Structure 1
Amino acid sequence: MSKQRESIISAGIDIGTSTTKLIISRLSLLNVAGISHVPRIEIVDKEILYQSPVYRTPLLDETTINTSEVEQIIQHEYDRANILPHMIETGAVIITGEAATKNNASEMVHYLSKEAGEFLVATAGPDLEGIIAAKGSGVFAKSKGNRLVRANVDIGGGTANIAVYKNEILLGTCTLHVGGRLIEFDHHVIKSISPPVRSMLKQEGIRLQIGDSHNHPHIDKVLNMLLGTLSRTLTNELQEKDRPLILGHKPDWRLPIDVVTFSGGVSECMYQLETIESKASYNDIGILLAAKIQQSSIYEKFIVEAPMETVRATVLGAGTQTTEISGATIEIDPSKLPLKNIPIIKHDFHEQIENGISTLEKTFQQARRIYDTAYVENNFALSLTNIPLVKFNDIQRIANEIKRLMNERNHPDLPIILVVESDLAKVLGQSLIAIGVQQPVISIDQIHVDTGDYIDIGKALKTDVVPVIVKTLTFHSSEQ
């Protein structure tokens, strides 16, 4: 008997500092396991059904997104695509850049996730946005299997989000106030100057103000300052004068970068890979910044590669779903299942127990920056990979370090969720319980996930295994 395919409709909505866009896809599912094996459903094909034009993100004022206009845009595009909300079975609503800092950002995204279909919801902070963009631009995939250190620099309207990878391992992130909308124009005069740029101008003693001509010579000085901070970030040589343009933490990667790829709206001005007819109009410094980058010494210091995607790198499809069944060697608290939309942070032991334990804290700090904010009660799952052959004493050491770090979370009472690629989930989970952790423990095995993925963990089956949905944001390549 031939295997039957099933398809689901997914949607992606990206609300950024400058632009808002939507895409509808059809994902084809197939059970790829043999007849006598446990079913394994994988996405075997994806088809882009509809791409919206790129809209200017509507704002009520500098601190508030115009929710009603965003809703109208989405409804209009659903109508054009002949799609009803109940037809959408999976997907992503992502809010990025400075749009994520607006007063009503979180409220709006959660509302849209309910009204526009069954969505994976992610209000992307700067670190997560950099990770997502690196996957969309192709940098994450290109990093596999070679020794080159690759940086994806996603430059939108308000920020440049940098994610650095080597062999699909995230080495670090950094976000800068570098973007196309930091200075905006109206009728050939300056309409707005962003607070970070105003701070930089004051620091440098440069006078530039609203009402000045769009040809004012000091605009070029601003561009040089933005580019200087970006270049020094990539070489890890930031100076005190760069502080006004740093959003959050400084670069936290240690290895020197070999290859740089630019994505985002500013890179669209560089490469013009976007093929849709209707584009948002830009009355800002984006085009000037793109030209300045192309003429800069960055091209001398690094190998610069074009992205697979520019303005659509952050999110162009919806969630890919891969249903997996965890192994039988698991430790779970049934009262806490099912769990939905749990983000992943990956920790690689590299077959070295001492280094693996000693670097756990760095992974945790990264996870806290990305997912565990003080004002949102979000949990995350720790993925443990490439653990070497270990003794029981080593398992206890891992458990003790996990216990210590989990207690430092902003919300330490949330369940401890572990995803272990090898068959150590049960013994590690039981070790945590034995040393007296106060939290419920969910420890599952034989699941492959990456940082930036999300998982759903279903209720335990009669065979003492649990179904797991791995959701990875999918992206559409310009080459398809």
Structure 2
Amino acid sequence: MNSSASKIETLMSAGIDIGTSTTKLVISRFSLMNVAGGTHVPRIEIIDKEILYRSPIFRTPLLSPTIIDINKIEQLIQNEYEIAGVLSQQIQTGAVIITGETATMKNAQEMVHHLSDVAGEFLVATAGPDLEGVIAAKGSGAYEYAKKTRKSVANIDIGGGTANIAVYQGDKMAGTCTLHIGGRLIEFENQHVKSISPPVQKLLTQEGWSLEINDSKNHPTIEKVTDWMAKLLARVLSKSTTSKDDVLILGHHPEWNGDIDVITISGGISECMYGLEDTDYSKAVYDDIGIELAQALQKNENLKNWEWVIPEETVRATVLGAGTQTTNISGATIQVDSKELPQKNLPVFEISFENQIEIGLGKLQSSMNLAISMYDPGREGQNFVLYLKDFPYLNFKDIQEIAKGLLQSRLLKPKPEQPLIIVLQSDHAKVLGQTLQAQEASQSILCVDQVDVEHGDYMDIGRILQSGVVPVVIKTLTFHS
């Protein structure tokens, strides 16, 4: 066993949230320790998370309504790192979250990959409304509250462009839903309507309401829009939506089962309700329907059917979730070629052995072909992770057969010399990794276990830490349109 595994080791993380209205950043420090006894297999866990720095809240810089100002974002992040007293090369994990309407911008993907290069050695980029909802629920404290009380809690994170709902029943994720509800969907300038977003435009047409650019910001239709949004939220939470609601539902309908006991509201709109932030909040100046929307939610009679709990974090829920909740730690009995780390944005392909060694071995070649056609259709050499699960009891001969099958199937790849990256559900990473290395010494191997991952996820693997583990971030890279 590595003697350093029993010592406390620290890891620095950054969370960056680039939203429809605001951009913010947090820097955190994680403490890792081997929580298994001296004679047991090491089990490294995060035992403490400390927030070192919270940035002010900035207005998200745009070049136009559809283009993010990448240079200004980069400059903002570098300035904040300087104020926090950290260098980008000190950041070992974390996440950039592109949230709300910003994820629909023309250059969202370009910015995400650009930032993952400039913001830190292993700072990673994620987007997608379902994941945003989950991260915000963890950052707001709603997840911990659900876990502690065993209640069914819906966290509704409402920003400039979207409301991301994540429902937790105790410690289990029960479902998500995303709505076009947010402050910046109607914007003002000089007391008049400056812009109306496409979803709201569709709602106006559907309901037969009139609202035009240059109308007064006190136009009666604005109250109708915010009231409709509040009623829609109540219908979504009670799962009583109608086809007319599709106009403001982004993606899938609510998918949780059972009733919701408690609602918590986080995001910029909750700040309009609760005012928990300090004066730094005002660095981002708004002129939109945020306050009207907050008031509509607070006075809606149907929403009063649920118990409301004020979250621990309001406007910073997503960025705190991104900086403190996205990192996992692998098992300590792993086999990795350290010169091949870090690895970023690797898609995951799942292979189930269905508890029979013959079935699993029979799937390796066809699964490799399918993974290549799915993730590398142009045969340009996009690498991916093979996630092997549902093993039967394995003896050493079985391990040797699996290693042989994996090495043969890797020859189907356009670049077979790439690292062979394997994630295991079971605790076999060290023995399988060493067997692969023994059978083919020239092949780079990254074989990790004790990580929860699903088919279609993306994954980043960081540099090996002193304790012999690697930080892993699992994410869903979806740029919704």
CA apart distance, 1:123: 2.9
Q: 1:229-248 counterparts in 2 under 5 A?
A: 229-248=232-251
Whose relative contact order is higher, 1 or 2, with alpha carbons under 8 Å and at least 6 apart? 2
CA distance in 2, matches of 1:108, 1:443: 29
Q: 1:228-307 counterparts in 2 under 5 A?
A: 228-275=231-278, 277-279=280-282, 280-307=284-311
CA apart distance, 1:293: 0.7
Q: Which residue of 2 aligns with 1:456?
A: 461
Q: 1:186-205 counterparts in 2 under 5 A?
A: 186-205=189-208
| Bigger mean CA offset, 192-201 vs 4-13 | 4-13
The answer as to whether partners of 2:61 and 2:68 remain within 8 angstroms in 1 is: yes
Identify if the C-alpha distance between structure 1 residues 33 and 80 changes in structure 2 by more than 3 Å, giving closer, same or farther: same
Q: Which residue of 1 aligns with 2:437?
A: none
The answer as to whether partners of 1:143 and 1:149 remain within 8 angstroms in 2 is: yes
CA distance in 1, matches of 2:188, 2:35: 54
Identify if the C-alpha distance between structure 1 residues 25 and 326 changes in structure 2 by more than 3 Å, giving closer, same or farther: closer
Q: 1:67-146 counterparts in 2 under 5 A?
A: 67-144=70-147
Give the match's secondary structure for 2:134: helix
CA distance in 2, matches of 1:127, 1:137: 16
Identify if the C-alpha distance between structure 1 residues 117 and 219 changes in structure 2 by more than 3 Å, giving closer, same or farther: same
- Asked if 1:318 is matched to 2:329, the reply is no
CA apart distance, 1:24: 1.7
2:179 equivalent among 176, 180, 187: 176
Give the match's secondary structure for 2:319: coil
CA distance in 1, matches of 2:171, 2:351: 14
1:25 equivalent among 22, 25, 28: 28
The answer as to whether partners of 2:356 and 2:392 remain within 8 angstroms in 1 is: no
Give the match's secondary structure for 2:374: coil
Counting aligned pairs with the same residue, the percent is 47
Q: 1:350-389 counterparts in 2 under 5 A?
A: 379-380=347-348
Q: Which residue of 2 aligns with 1:442?
A: 422
| Bigger mean CA offset, 236-245 vs 312-321 | 312-321
Counterpart AA for 1:469:
P
CA apart distance, 1:222: 0.7
CA distance in 1, matches of 2:186, 2:11: 42
Counterpart AA for 2:323:
A
| Bigger mean CA offset, 160-169 vs 219-228 | 160-169
CA distance in 2, matches of 1:338, 1:76: 28
Q: Which residue of 2 aligns with 1:356?
A: none
Query: For 1:55-80, what per-residue CA distance to the aligned partner results, in whole angstroms no more than 9, with x for missing partners?
Result: 00011111000111112211221222
CA distance in 2, matches of 1:177, 1:205: 19
Identify if the C-alpha distance between structure 1 residues 296 and 86 changes in structure 2 by more than 3 Å, giving closer, same or farther: same
CA apart distance, 1:244: 1.5
Identify if the C-alpha distance between structure 1 residues 148 and 396 changes in structure 2 by more than 3 Å, giving closer, same or farther: farther
Report the structure, 1 or 2, having the larger helix content.
Answer: 2
2:156 equivalent among 153, 158, 173: 153
Q: Which residue of 1 aligns with 2:438?
A: none
CA distance in 1, matches of 2:264, 2:90: 36
Q: Which residue of 2 aligns with 1:417?
A: 386
Alignment TM-score, normalising by the size of structure 1? 0.75
Give the match's secondary structure for 1:162: strand
CA distance in 1, matches of 2:391, 2:150: 25
CA distance in 2, matches of 1:62, 1:149: 38
Give the match's secondary structure for 2:215: coil
Counterpart AA for 2:155:
N
Give the match's secondary structure for 1:318: helix
Counterpart AA for 1:225:
W
The answer as to whether partners of 1:137 and 1:309 remain within 8 angstroms in 2 is: yes
Give the match's secondary structure for 1:418: strand
CA apart distance, 1:191: 0.8
CA apart distance, 1:299: 3.5
Counterpart AA for 1:325:
G
Q: Which residue of 1 aligns with 2:435?
A: none
CA distance in 2, matches of 1:244, 1:204: 10
CA distance in 2, matches of 1:468, 1:79: 27
The answer as to whether partners of 1:453 and 1:470 remain within 8 angstroms in 2 is: no
The answer as to whether partners of 1:421 and 1:448 remain within 8 angstroms in 2 is: no
The answer as to whether partners of 1:171 and 1:253 remain within 8 angstroms in 2 is: yes
The answer as to whether partners of 1:419 and 1:443 remain within 8 angstroms in 2 is: yes
| Bigger mean CA offset, 316-325 vs 64-73 | 316-325
CA apart distance, 1:92: 1.6
The answer as to whether partners of 1:20 and 1:55 remain within 8 angstroms in 2 is: yes
- Asked if 1:469 is matched to 2:471, the reply is yes
The answer as to whether partners of 2:14 and 2:123 remain within 8 angstroms in 1 is: no
| Bigger mean CA offset, 416-425 vs 288-297 | 416-425
CA distance in 2, matches of 1:415, 1:4: 33
The answer as to whether partners of 1:15 and 1:96 remain within 8 angstroms in 2 is: yes
CA apart distance, 1:250: 1.7
CA apart distance, 1:94: 1.3
CA apart distance, 1:5: 3.2
The answer as to whether partners of 2:349 and 2:371 remain within 8 angstroms in 1 is: no
The answer as to whether partners of 2:93 and 2:462 remain within 8 angstroms in 1 is: no
Alignment TM-score, normalising by the size of structure 2? 0.75
Give the match's secondary structure for 1:92: strand
Give the match's secondary structure for 1:154: strand
CA apart distance, 1:338: 6.7
Give the match's secondary structure for 1:300: helix
CA apart distance, 1:272: 2.3
CA distance in 2, matches of 1:293, 1:430: 56
Give the match's secondary structure for 1:325: coil
CA distance in 1, matches of 2:350, 2:115: 28
Count of residue pairs the alignment pairs up:
424
Identify if the C-alpha distance between structure 1 residues 239 and 135 changes in structure 2 by more than 3 Å, giving closer, same or farther: same
Counterpart AA for 2:422:
I
